[in-house]
Structure 1
Amino acid sequence: MLQITDIKSENVVATIASGKLSQHDLEKIHPLIHSILEKGLKVRWYFEMNDFQGWHIEGLWKDFTKDVEHEKEYEKIALVGEKKWRKWATQFMKPFCNAEIKYFGPDQKQEAKIWIESN
């Protein structure tokens, strides 16, 4: 499941991933991403993994690649979670290589939120 949370910057998409992600989960954030892009801003994504178990592969990659079309419009990605997900998260976000990607441990959530909103 992908839960959308609230961070007060107009160009930040904040999510918490738990359990297994599906295509439907990523579809939830498309309107938010497009709203940011329509304002002429670059997207910043706070992606927290809490009791995360991976993803249902069927359809997920196809849907995810829609956002890769906007790879140059991603500015920062904060990945927050247990160390065991670091390699997966790095590979998952690899298509967004133009973005500055930073990994934070579970005890660094506040630091990640400050970083994602900072200039």
Structure 2
Amino acid sequence: MSTQRHGLSIGLERTNEVILLNLKVLGKLTHDDYTKIIPMLDAAVEGIEHPYINVFVDASELEGWELRAAWDDLKLGMKHGNEFARIAIYGNKKWQDYAAKVGSWFISGDIKYFEEMEQAQKWLQEEKQKLW
């Protein structure tokens, strides 16, 4: 019998029109994960005329997406794509770098892959300071 690890930590911070979404994923992202992420993000941007969303994803223990979750991710990008300013993906697998490049096709902001957490956070902080 094999053990499958799964977990999702979500942090959401809003300052004026700038939203910072922090995600840490263990195992595979599931459709159930998106049923939690999407309503939180929708509520955070509600009432903001021009929201700027920065995202930090700790994908160091991400193993991929379930098929339905990949579809959810695409829909999220289509719905909020113009609102994303920067998405920093911290990981340790080459396919995560490719996923970041593919994701950039669906949003107007910048997506960048990092192998060092500090560099990813610094890159997001630069954008945050620019927006304030």
Secondary structure at the aligned position of 1:94 is classed as coil
C-alpha distance in 1, partners of 2:87/2:105? Answer: 11
- From 45, 51, 54, give the equivalent of 2:55: 45
C-alpha distance in 2, partners of 1:90/1:27? Answer: 24
- Aligned pairs for 1:1-119 (under 5 A) are 1-5=7-11, 10=15, 11-40=19-48, 41-57=51-67, 59-67=68-76, 68-84=78-94, 85-96=96-107, 98-105=108-115, 108-118=116-126, 119=130
Amino acid at match of 1:4: I
> Is there any run of 5+ residues in structure 2 with no aligned partner, and where?
1-6
Amino acid at match of 2:69: L
Q: TM-score, normalised by structure 2?
A: 0.73
> Is there any run of 5+ residues in structure 1 with no aligned partner, and where?
none
1:92 deviates by 3.9
C-alpha distance in 1, partners of 2:55/2:120? Answer: 11
Amino acid at match of 2:44: I
Q: TM-score, normalised by structure 1?
A: 0.79
Greater relative CO, 1 or 2 (CA 8 Å, sep 6+): 1
RMSD: 2.1
1:35 deviates by 2.9
Amino acid at match of 1:64: D
Count of equivalent residues: 114
Identity %: 25
